[in-house]
Amino acid sequence: MSRSPEIRQPSCVGALIRDEANRVFVQRRSPHRRLLPGAWDIVGGHVEDGETAEAALAREIHEETGWSLRRIEAVIADWEWQHNGLVRREFDYLVEVSGDLRRPRLAPAEHDDYNWVSFRDTDFLRQGLDSGNGLLWNIIARATRIRLTRDLRMEPIDVGASDALWGMHRGGIMTFLGHRMTQEDIILNAKHYAAEWDTGAGYWWLFFRRNNQPQAEIIGYGGLSRELLDGRDELMLHCTVPAKDSPPDSAGQIIKAVLAFARNELQASRVTACTAPDNAWAHNVLQRLGMRPRGELRANDQSRRQYDISLASGSSYDLEQKVITGIGQILAVPSD
């Protein structure tokens, strides 16, 4: 989104607060509010004179919910909106808070109800009053799709990810379950991945290292798609990492996180993967993670070796259920 050149610092902040089921907190604006009365909103507000964006975030969270900001994971949206002819720049943060998430302390003059939104039902609460607030709902949907492990942050792929994807492919031939693509292919794929999220046909992420650097390192992308394989509906695993990252650590971490999502959140009993028959490195990674060969398949004049895994409840693929682990925060929590 283009930004007005005169706006350099955020004038508004928003908090994407999630519970341990990765649902995002939303609150309904009271009916007498001048701006978007009766519409659903996230916690947030204006940055006051002399206040940092992070301090404003902590203040707004406490004023609107009674909770306290514990940690900021990342800025996941940087956008502009306009009211009464004034353009405002807003940063929306993925955060962890302290307090009883079952009992927010709403300010009745500002908000009269609240709810929690999951990745499956971001459209459930939307109503006519929210029709002019589509961009905010896209941000809420994005926050419901983010997942964290101890070492990785998984951000859902949308059209805006095409530059990052192209940068990875341009850096070298991709290894593992990926292949070389053109820039046009990348743009089309990013649109396809975003559409699959919206329809439930697939679940795709960019994978970032969680660390203290302002720009987190992208280590790969991948996810799950629903495909017809030999006449059967299969949940297919995808993983692509740069050629320079040929040691199995990154691929292994990505696959574990994807399998955890499949088992814990999709309640899948089995996941399938396919790779080129001569890709010994990929075969070693898959088998080390518990996937077993199931023969070869031919499609579009290409041969692929198939692997699958049964996701028993006692398996070791555990995505951390606590939403923010405290490892690798990008921004410091403002001091008291």
If asked whether residues 104 and 231 sit together in one domain, one would say no
Which alpha helices (H) appear in 67-222, and where do they start and end?
A: 134-145, 162-170, 183-199
Per the CB < 8 A criterion, the answer to whether 261 and 319 are in contact is yes
Q: Is residue 332 part of a domain?
A: no
Separation of CA 167 from chain center: 19
| Pairing between β-strand 270-275 and β-strand 111-117 as defined by DSSP bridges | unpaired
Cα–Cα distance between 162 and 160 in angstroms, integer?
Answer: 6
From residue 247, how far is each of 102, 250, 282, 301, 333 by CA, in Å? Answer: 43, 7, 10, 30, 34
If asked whether residues 39 and 61 sit together in one domain, one would say yes
Give this prediction's pTM.
0.86
Per residue of the chain (336 residues), give pLDDT as tens.
Answer: 434 444 468 889 999 999 988 999 999 999 888 878 888 999 999 999 999 999 999 999 999 999 999 989 889 899 888 777 788 899 999 999 999 999 999 988 899 999 999 999 888 777 766 666 788 889 999 999 999 988 889 999 998 898 888 888 876 666 667 666 788 888 999 999 999 999 999 999 999 988 655 567 788 999 999 988 777 889 999 998 887 655 558 888 899 899 989 988 998 999 999 988 888 888 888 998 889 998 888 766 678 899 999 887 555 665 554 443 333 333 333 333
Cα–Cα distance between 39 and 5 in angstroms, integer?
Answer: 30
Q: Residue 234 is part of a domain; what is its CATH number?
A: 3.40.630.30
Per the CB < 8 A criterion, the answer to whether 237 and 274 are in contact is no
Q: Is residue 23 part of a domain?
A: yes
Which structural domain, as residue segments, surrounds residue 210?
A: 151-310
Q: Is residue 53 part of a domain?
A: yes
